[in-house]
């Protein structure tokens, strides 16, 4: 029997990792499932990306465009009305947010429970709505997909649901990164030099990509980096930079204050002959009376958002990639860094160590001294970097979008089979 399946792709085109998850999953579902018919719901912001990827005219895929933002009142009203008018046998929500009064069969992906630990920064109504939507997702969905065993265990412990309802299906690594993993060292270095030239970076750098939210632990990373630069006696350590790639978050003034403090302290350690006018903090944002200060040669360089096509070059150029998060449901960036031959230094939290295995150098994310020691070690030990590079290339082999698609299809078939019985 040919079933009609809708995939909620509203994150596509809005610069979110869940959009990348949706595209990776969808592409391989379409490739392996020749029996069912798929529709993809996107917002207008996703149209161009689908056209660029060749999915707009994809056989066996109908595109629906509806401008309903995530985590919004229209998601609970307009989207509900729209869904109830459609003849879908199954809806796949690729994030927990969904209309809580939608009662037809659906499956859902829950990426992590990080937000549960950071409600202190949100208003009462937003917290109440989040809890209601999440509880509905857990109880009313026919099946739950998590992207790590850690999140599965957290869901079970927090909501007391049957573990049989939850399937762990790891995301994959995009093909463009797997191609880079097959390059020789010289070609990857050339790619990295491209990013350095564009960004005005003259020496080595430690890279972080992603959000600036509190659980990402950037203030401790900044303190640890300052400690390495101030206390390490290795040659050229004063020239190394910390590159923060990603949107400068106006809602995180603590991070901006720390960037300014570190840059103000370490800028004076650089001689005038070493300054580079191109090497200034990109896209400064005003936050009340707080703004990222401009320096000719900042120790901490903020690039702002990096286009997807340039991101592999940013990984390739880095001496190491830092993952300091206090909480992660999975975390693709460290794996992408590994695919680019870049060693990873990371927090020893459960999900990160689950995903990265023994291919990373770990630190206590709440201990600035330990973090600084591990960053210093990865900077000074060339043999260690080569060892982590080799292990990284092996680790990425564990994560395949095709395997993700196959396992997701098994979940879809199980739910549809139970619906028919």
Q: What is the DSSP string of 1-25?
A: -PPEEEEE-TTTTTT-HHHHHHHHH
Average pLDDT over residues 327-337: 91
Residues 235 and 148 occupy one common structural domain: no
Average pLDDT over residues 389-401: 97
Residues 263 and 325 occupy one common structural domain: yes
Query: In the prediction, which pLDDT does 1 show?
Result: 79
Residue 338 belongs to domain with CATH number? 3.40.50.2000
Q: How far apart are CA 360 and CA 358, in angstroms?
A: 6
Residues 273 and 366 occupy one common structural domain: yes
What range does the domain containing 26 cover?
4-172+400-420
Neighbours of 109 (CB within 10 A): 27
Q: Quickly state the pLDDT bin for 238 (edges 50, 70, 90).
A: confident
Lowest mean pLDDT, pick from 151-160, 181-190, 245-254: 245-254
pLDDT tens-digit profile of 267-321?
Answer: 644 444 444 433 344 444 443 445 777 777 789 999 988 888 899 999 999 999 9
Residues 139 and 239 occupy one common structural domain: no
DSSP β-bridge partners for residue 323: 346
Residues 15 and 114 occupy one common structural domain: yes
- Classify burial at 325, counting beta carbons within 10 Å of its beta carbon; exposed 0-12, middle 13-18, buried 19 or more: buried
Q: How far apart are CA 165 and CA 137, in angstroms?
A: 12
Query: In the prediction, which pLDDT does 82 show?
Result: 98
| 206, 319 Cβ separation under 8 angstroms | yes
Residues 194 and 120 occupy one common structural domain: no
Burial call 307-318: b when 16+ CB within 10 Å, e when fewer:
eeeebbbbbbbb
Number of domains in the chain: 2
Residues 390 and 334 occupy one common structural domain: yes
Give this prediction's pTM.
0.87
Residues 164 and 212 occupy one common structural domain: no
263, 342, 235, 190: CA torsion to nearest 10: -90
Residues 359 and 310 occupy one common structural domain: yes
Query: In the prediction, which pLDDT does 247 show?
Result: 81
Residues 129 and 42 occupy one common structural domain: yes
Average pLDDT over residues 395-413: 96
Backbone angles phi, psi at 106, to 5 degrees: -150, 155
Residues 279 and 412 occupy one common structural domain: no
Q: How far apart are CA 311 and CA 317, in angstroms?
A: 10
Using a pLDDT cut of 70, give the percent of the chain over it: 90
Task: Judge whether residue 366 has pLDDT over 90.
Answer: yes
Residues 179 and 294 occupy one common structural domain: yes
pLDDT tens-digit profile of 20-58?
Answer: 899 999 999 999 999 999 999 999 999 999 998 889 988
DSSP β-bridge partners for residue 290: 287
């Amino acid at each position: 029997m040919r079933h009609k399946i809708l995939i909620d792709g509203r994150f596509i085109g809005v610069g979110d990792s869940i959009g990348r998850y949706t595209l990776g999953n969808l592409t391989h579902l379409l490739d392996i499932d020749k029996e069912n018919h798929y529709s993809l719901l996107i917002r207008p912001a996703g149209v161009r990306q689908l056209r660029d990827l060749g999915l707009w005219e994809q056989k066996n895929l109908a595109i629906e465009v509806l401008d309903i933002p995530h985590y919004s009142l229209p998601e609970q009203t307009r989207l509900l009305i729209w869904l109830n008018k459609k003849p879908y046998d199954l809806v796949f929500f690729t994030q927990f947010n969904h209309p809580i009064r939608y009662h037809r069969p659906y499956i859902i992906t829950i990426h992590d429970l990080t937000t549960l630990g950071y409600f202190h920064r949100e208003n009462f109504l937003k917290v109440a709505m989040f809890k209601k939507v999440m509880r509905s997702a857990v109880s009313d969905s026919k099946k739950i997909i998590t992207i790590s065993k850690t999140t599965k265990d957290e869901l079970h412990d927090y909501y007391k649901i049957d573990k049989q309802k939850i399937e762990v299906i790891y995301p994959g690594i995009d093909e463009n990164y797997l191609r880079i993993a097959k390059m020789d060292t010289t070609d990857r270095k050339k790619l990295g030099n491209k990013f350095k030239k564009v960004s005005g970076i003259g020496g080595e750098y430690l890279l972080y990509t992603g959000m600036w939210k509190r659980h990402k632990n950037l203030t401790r990373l900044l303190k640890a980096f300052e400690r390495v630069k101030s206390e390490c006696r290795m040659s050229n350590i004063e020239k190394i930079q910390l590159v923060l790639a990603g949107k400068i978050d106006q809602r995180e003034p603590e991070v901006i204050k720390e960037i300014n403090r570190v840059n103000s302290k370490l800028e004076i350690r650089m001689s005038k002959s070493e300054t580079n006018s191109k090497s200034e903090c990109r896209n400064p944002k005003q936050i009340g009376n707080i703004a990222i200060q401009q320096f000719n040669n900042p120790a901490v360089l903020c690039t702002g958002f990096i286009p997807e096509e340039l991101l592999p070059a940013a990984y390739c150029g880095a001496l190491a990639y830092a993952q300091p998060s206090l909480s992660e449901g999975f975390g693709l960036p460290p794996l992408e860094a590994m695919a680019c031959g870049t060693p990873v230094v990371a927090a020893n939290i459960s999900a990160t160590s689950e995903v990265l295995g023994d291919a990373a150098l770990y630190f206590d994310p709440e201990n600035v001294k330990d973090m600084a020691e591990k960053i210093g070690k990865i900077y000074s030990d060339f043999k260690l970097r080569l060892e982590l590079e080799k292990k990284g290339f092996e680790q990425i082999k564990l994560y395949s979008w095709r395997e993700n698609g196959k396992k997701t299809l098994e979940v879809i078939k199980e739910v549809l089979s139970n619906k028919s019985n």
